[in-house]
Structure 1
C-alpha cells in the first residue's frame, strides 16, 4: 500500500504543476525546459524529477487536469432544464473560466495548434463522447421546439470560440480595447447573442 502524501509533497507537486503551467503556456511544449520549470517552481531539477520523471509527465498531468475541469460543466447541463438558460449559463461559466484561468486555456490552445500530439486520443475518445451526448440533448430540444433549429456541434464550437478568445488572444483584445476592461460587457454580449439565436419564436 502506498503511503499517503505528506504536506510537503503535495505542496511541491502543486508548485511544479503551477510552474509548468506558466512555462508551457508562455513558451509552448518545445520551447519549455525542465530547468525553466524548476526555476519557476523554486526547486532543484533533481528534486523536481523525484515527483515527475520528465517534462512530458508534467505536461500530460497538466492537460489531464485541465480536460477534467473543462468537461465537468458539460456533464452538468440538465436535459430537463430550460434549454436557453442551460446553454447561456454554460457559456457564462466558460467565459469565467477563460477569465480566471487564461494560462490553462492557452496551454490547451498550444497543444491543439501543434496537432494534439499528447491528447489526440482523449479528444477522439472522452471529449467526443461527452460532446456527442450534449449534441443528442440539444437535438432533442430542437425536435421538441424548445430552441431554434441549430447544429449542436457548431453551437458548441461557437460557445468555445466566443469565450476562450478572451484568454487565447488576450494580447490582441487588449491592444484593440486599450485601457478598457477586456471583459466589460463580454458576458452580456455573449448572452444576448445566444438568446437571440436560440429562443423560439412566439
Structure 2
C-alpha cells in the first residue's frame, strides 16, 4: 500500500471518528446514556451502524470517548494561562474560549453535566487525575501572579469553579436564559454581551479591571 493511500485511510478514519463523536455528543446530551442507542447515533452521523461498532466497540466505549473528548477540549483553553502571560489578557482569553464552547457546542457541556449529576461513574478517574492536575498547575500560576502583585488575592482554585459555573450555564441552562430574555435563540450581539459580562465580572473580582 502506498503512503498516500495510507494517509487517505487515516484521514477517512479521523473524519469518521470525528463525525461519530459529534453525533454521539448530541444524542447522549438529549437522551442520556440509557436512552441513547447506537442506531440513533449512526443516523445522526449519517453513517451505517456497523461503522460505529468498527470504530467504537460498544455504546459505553463510545460514551467514554465522548466524555474524554469534551474534557480535552475544555482543558485546552487553559493553555492561555502561563507564568509570563498578562493576567488580564490570559483570563480574558480563557473565559472567551470557554464561552465560545458553551455557545457553539452546548451539547458537549450538557452531556458532561449529566454525567456529573449521576456521580461521574465513567469519568471520575479523569476528574481526579487529568482535571485535578490541570487545576493545581494553573492555580499555582495564578498564585504566582498574586505573590508578584499582578492581581488581587483570590482563592485561585475556587476561581476556576466560578469561571466554569459562569460560562457553562449558557449551555446547560440556555433554555432558562432564553426564556428570561424572551428569545428563541441568542444572537451574536447577545453572546458578545454575555461574554463581556462574565469577563468583566471575573476581572473586577481579580482586581484586573481596565
Above 0.5 in TM-score? Answer: yes
CA 1:76/1:49 → structure 2, altered by over 3 Å: closer, same or farther?
A: same
Give distance in 2, aligned partners of 1:90 and 1:6.
Answer: 32
Question: Counterpart in 1 of 2:198?
Answer: 190
Instruction: Describe the superposition over 1:3-42 as per-residue Cα deviations: whole angstroms up to 9, x where unpaired.
Output: 6635554443333222211110111111111222122223
Q: Structure 2 unaligned runs (5+)?
A: 1-5
Question: Counterpart in 2 of 1:34?
Answer: 38
Instruction: Describe the superposition over 1:107-139 as per-residue Cα deviations: whole angstroms up to 9, x where unpaired.
Output: 111111111111111110011011001111111
Kept in 2: contact 1:75–1:130 (CA 8 A):
no
Give distance in 1, aligned partners of 2:193 and 2:56.
Answer: 42
Question: Counterpart in 2 of 1:88?
Answer: 92
Shift of 1:188: 1.7
The answer to whether 1:147 aligns with 2:151 is yes
Question: Counterpart in 1 of 2:75?
Answer: 71
2:40 match: secondary structure: helix
Q: Structure 1 unaligned runs (5+)?
A: none
CA 1:82/1:6 → structure 2, altered by over 3 Å: closer, same or farther?
A: closer
The answer to whether 1:165 aligns with 2:169 is yes
2:191 match: secondary structure: coil
Aligned length: 199
Shift of 1:78: 2.0
TM-score by length of 1: 0.89
CA RMSD of aligned residues (A): 2.0
Kept in 1: contact 2:17–2:55 (CA 8 A):
yes
Kept in 2: contact 1:84–1:199 (CA 8 A):
no
Give distance in 2, aligned partners of 1:37 and 1:101.
Answer: 17
CA 1:88/1:9 → structure 2, altered by over 3 Å: closer, same or farther?
A: closer
Question: Counterpart in 2 of 1:175?
Answer: 179
